[in-house]
Amino acid sequence: MRQFLLFCIGGVIGFVVDAGVLRVLVGGFGWDAYLARLLSFLCAATATWLYNRNHTFRQERNYGLLGEWARYLFAMCGGFVVNYGIYAFLYYASPLVRLYPELGVAAGSIGGLAVNFATSRWWIYRRQRAG
């Protein structure tokens, strides 16, 4: 349970990064909201990886730094499919989300949480068996 709560804290950090980058790209630079979400996800996934490797799963190290980061990003793709699907649907269907895309990011983040925790816990940071 402690590990899941720490993972959720990392998720909040990721949400802030994701929503912030999205807001800057869409509101500040006029990027397409669907395309901007790809870059904001990459930034958020990197932020959550840094947090999770240093707090949530700090004792488990199965790969080198770059290998762990690459596997983590790959593992987060499952959650991202759920996350992005919810975001894209809400952005398309809701004028409120088009005005505040961060709401779509929040809903998508909640949707992808379980998938991302499972792939982190049981693949990237699984405990190696002795013997």
Q: How far is the CA of 8 from the CAs of 11, 29, 46, 66, in angstroms? A: 5, 30, 15, 23
pLDDT in single tens digits along all 131 residues of the chain: 899 999 999 999 999 999 999 999 999 999 999 999 999 999 999 999 999 999 998 876 778 899 989 998 998 999 999 999 999 999 999 999 999 999 999 999 999 998 998 888 888 887 766 55
CA 33/CA 70 separation, integer angstroms = 25
3-state SS class at 122: helix
Runs of H (alpha helix) within the chain: 2-23, 33-51, 65-93, 95-99, 101-119
